[in-house]
Structure 1
Amino acid sequence: MTGKYTGWVSGILLLIMLLSGCRAGVHSETVIIPDDGETEQASQSSSSFQVKAIYRLPDHYTNDGYWLGWTSADSLAGAFKTAGTTESFNLIRLTSPYEQGENIKAVSDKTQLELSPDGKYTAEISSSNTVTSLKVVSLKNGEETEIASFGSGGLQYLQDISWSGNSRFLSYLVLNASDSGKSSIYLYDLQTNTTKQYLLRDIEQGDTLLSINVADDGRGVLFTLFEADRPGKTVLMSGRMTDPDIKIMYTRETVEEQNTWISNDQFAFLGPDGTLYEYDQRNSELSVILENVAAYKLSDDKKIIAYSPQGEDAVYVGKMQGRNVVYREPVYHGMMPSDMFWSTDHTKLLLQGASSYANPFTGQYDSSRGPSFIIELE
């Protein structure tokens, strides 16, 4: 019995020693198998942007009008002069392969148009000898909703219209010619079909308002303006809409109207030295995103950025990773963009070019901005 027990113990000790020796040469490794069964690790180049195709749009959709943006993943909208007339434009839709446009309707050359980011509506300001009106028009069925109207010759002027990034809110400036303290922002809510008025009490007499940009929550607002006491300087102001007026929270010198809401509390803007900043209103933190930028455009989901570096006739695309831009790649050379529009699925970038001496984003009615291209990305 003792001999059997001794042999049994010896056998177990020998097995433990063998297993210990084997374990010393084994390395633990975790392998993640993707859904398609591939185990090959993606290289960095697979995260970079590659150009799949480039489309040059017909010149008659460049020289005699302006693009509004994308109505879907492969369809554009723009307004272009009607052949043989000087006072009429056609609102057109141009769909892949971007060769022949479809007329949606005729509009006056005095009509100001603004396409909603989701491509479903246009906001239209039209003027006659007696009245100026603002309406929202559905591109699906042509249904029109009048938002506001003002008699011509009065003290109030409708100056600027702008959509929130989620296409819910339409904001517009109503300026008082005799007293800037009585000027207002109006905010129309497409979901509730209601309009609210907010007074601009902190805008000084003599300041010239240029644009407004409302956040997705309908509470945050960005202004650009010329201040009377700072001639030649463009100033960015951020504020919060608190009934019945607006509280200004931050002021900074900027470049024209290049600003974007990233969230309801964070926004990006371009400084006069070409630095692209992000400002967080929650902690008053100012961060640098990129330097030496001439113009930029964020995709609607704020995950991709297209930009043109200062001193380069080129367009780059990169991925937003926090406040950093990674996998930056040039997607087009030989152009300084005057307009950039991301498609609704963020796979295509509409570019309209200008010569290198022209200022970027000079206005939608400038017909000398150069050719238009669509860059389709992998």
Structure 2
Amino acid sequence: MSHSTFRLIVVFVLLSFLIAGCTNELKPKTVIIPDTEESSEPDGVNEEFAVNKIYTLADPGDGNGDILGWIDQKQVIGLYGNDQSRSFERVDYKYNSHQEIKAVKSSKQMAKLAPDGMHIAYFENKEITNQLKLLDLANSKEIVIQDNVVGPYLLNALTWSNNSQYVTNAVENEKVKDGSFIAYDILHNSSNQYQVPGWNFREMSFGVKISDDGKSAMIIKVADGQYKLIYGELKGSGFVSIFEQPINVDGTYDYINDNQIIFVSAGGALSIYDRRNTTITNLLEHINAFQLSKDRKYIAYSKDQEEIFVAKLQGNNIINEKSIYKGLIPFHMQWSPDNKKILLSGRKPYASEAAPVPAASREPAVAAPAQITTIDNLPFIIEFK
């Protein structure tokens, strides 16, 4: 036997022992790869949205404050002052401390905060006409986005798209039968005006909600005392209806995405319309008003007038409903950017009722219901654990 042959035999024997040893240790294992990425979110909101504390936002002045919404996770912004002098102010909700951002000269103000908390659109009164302005909260600079606004325009609501790119305001022209609205694109510093057939001045006060892609819009029409939500496409300089639905005008309406809208029907059903397959899905009954979180994953809503719930919006389903507050008819609901707080304002159902209180949770909430009822409509913030 040659030396090289002997080496090959030794190597073969060693490999045989190694393979035999590994075979005894290896065990079969099945690996399952999910079709979709696993969610890092909790299974339900019942654990996530237990009420922790409630903070009231007392007005430091004469009670003429107007909270506009969240600018970050810790601060809201409001418009404060009196008929002679008003200012936009940051408010730290935990300490109710105020910091002035910009003084404004208007005695009567209509202002709307962008959903991302970065800009405010508002009218400013002038001696003869008015201006629609845009305030950049990062540097307190403002630009005029519409000049020579005639007085009646101030009755109409300003409305932002959910991505904070478009702000719209309705306009009236006595020479033209149909109403119209102007959509200002802050990203491209441009604006477009759209005519809406059969839309009158009375209906304009409800404003116009435009989609994030700027290709569709929702408006309100009134016929025989019934309010209708009109959802349509923006083509050229016109609005073309594609869907009409009687609604509860107090119930809010919104986009889930560019192809789906959500609204409260005249009968109190929280419903989704999908333009891709022209279907309506009813999610809940006996709903009065609702508000989606900024990421469209969660929803807050009032049911049977005076009880407020939160839940998770998953596809065409509402899951893990949780009651968080009782004894309030909300006028305004808004989620914080981190979904850990909700800004609320409203009124008690009846003056003789007891003070509103947080809904029961596994641990008692730290609240101040006596302060909440000192002034009707006083805004407050529910903070979750």
Same fold (TM over 0.5): yes
Question: Hey, what does 2:381 align to over in structure 1?
Answer: 374
Q: Within 5 Å, which residues of 2 pair with 1:159-178?
A: 159-178=156-175
Kept in 2, the 8 Å contact 1:304–1:319? The answer is yes
Question: Hey, what does 2:366 align to over in structure 1?
Answer: none
Equivalent in 129, 133, 136 of residue 134 of structure 2: 136
CA distance in 2: counterparts of 1:157 and 1:79, whole angstroms: 16
The 3-state SS of whatever aligns with 1:268 is strand
**What stretches of structure 1 of length at least 5 have no aligned partner?**
1-25, 33-41, 359-366
**What stretches of structure 2 of length at least 5 have no aligned partner?**
1-26, 34-41, 352-373
**CA shift in 2, pair 1:240/1:43, >3 Å:** closer
Kept in 2, the 8 Å contact 1:298–1:304? The answer is yes
**CA shift in 2, pair 1:73/1:188, >3 Å:** same
Kept in 2, the 8 Å contact 1:180–1:206? The answer is no
**CA shift in 2, pair 1:106/1:28, >3 Å:** same
Cα root mean square deviation, aligned: 2.9
Kept in 1, the 8 Å contact 2:55–2:93? The answer is no
**CA shift in 2, pair 1:63/1:276, >3 Å:** farther
Question: Hey, what does 1:254 align to over in structure 2?
Answer: 247
**CA shift in 2, pair 1:157/1:57, >3 Å:** closer
**Structure 1 residue 180 corresponds to structure 2 residue 174:** no
Of 184-193 and 143-152, more deviation after overlay is shown by: 143-152
Kept in 1, the 8 Å contact 2:221–2:228? The answer is yes
Of 314-323 and 114-123, more deviation after overlay is shown by: 314-323
**CA shift in 2, pair 1:356/1:177, >3 Å:** farther
Return the offset for 1:127. 2.6
Question: Hey, what does 2:188 align to over in structure 1?
Answer: 192
Question: Hey, what does 1:103 align to over in structure 2?
Answer: 100
The 3-state SS of whatever aligns with 1:111 is coil
Q: TM-score normalised to the size of structure 1?
A: 0.78
**CA shift in 2, pair 1:28/1:67, >3 Å:** same
Kept in 2, the 8 Å contact 1:224–1:236? The answer is yes
Q: Within 5 Å, which residues of 2 pair with 1:185-334?
A: 185-200=181-196, 202-203=197-198, 208-209=203-204, 210-227=206-223, 230=224, 232-256=225-249, 258-311=252-305, 313-334=306-327
Percentage of identical aligned residues:
29
CA distance in 1: counterparts of 2:163 and 2:102, whole angstroms: 25
CA distance in 1: counterparts of 2:130 and 2:58, whole angstroms: 33
Of 342-351 and 367-376, more deviation after overlay is shown by: 367-376
AA at the equivalent of 1:64? N
For these two proteins, the number of residue pairs brought into alignment is: 326
**CA shift in 2, pair 1:184/1:157, >3 Å:** farther
**CA shift in 2, pair 1:134/1:288, >3 Å:** same
The 3-state SS of whatever aligns with 1:180 is coil
Return the offset for 1:178. 4.3
Task: Kindly provide the CA deviation profile for residues 210-230 of structure 1, in whole angstroms up to 9, marking residues without a partner as x.
Answer: 221001001110001323xx1
Of 126-135 and 276-285, more deviation after overlay is shown by: 126-135
CA distance in 1: counterparts of 2:253 and 2:217, whole angstroms: 11
CA distance in 1: counterparts of 2:140 and 2:315, whole angstroms: 40
AA at the equivalent of 1:211? G
Return the offset for 1:65. 2.3
Kept in 2, the 8 Å contact 1:54–1:373? The answer is yes
AA at the equivalent of 1:68? L
Question: Hey, what does 2:343 align to over in structure 1?
Answer: 350
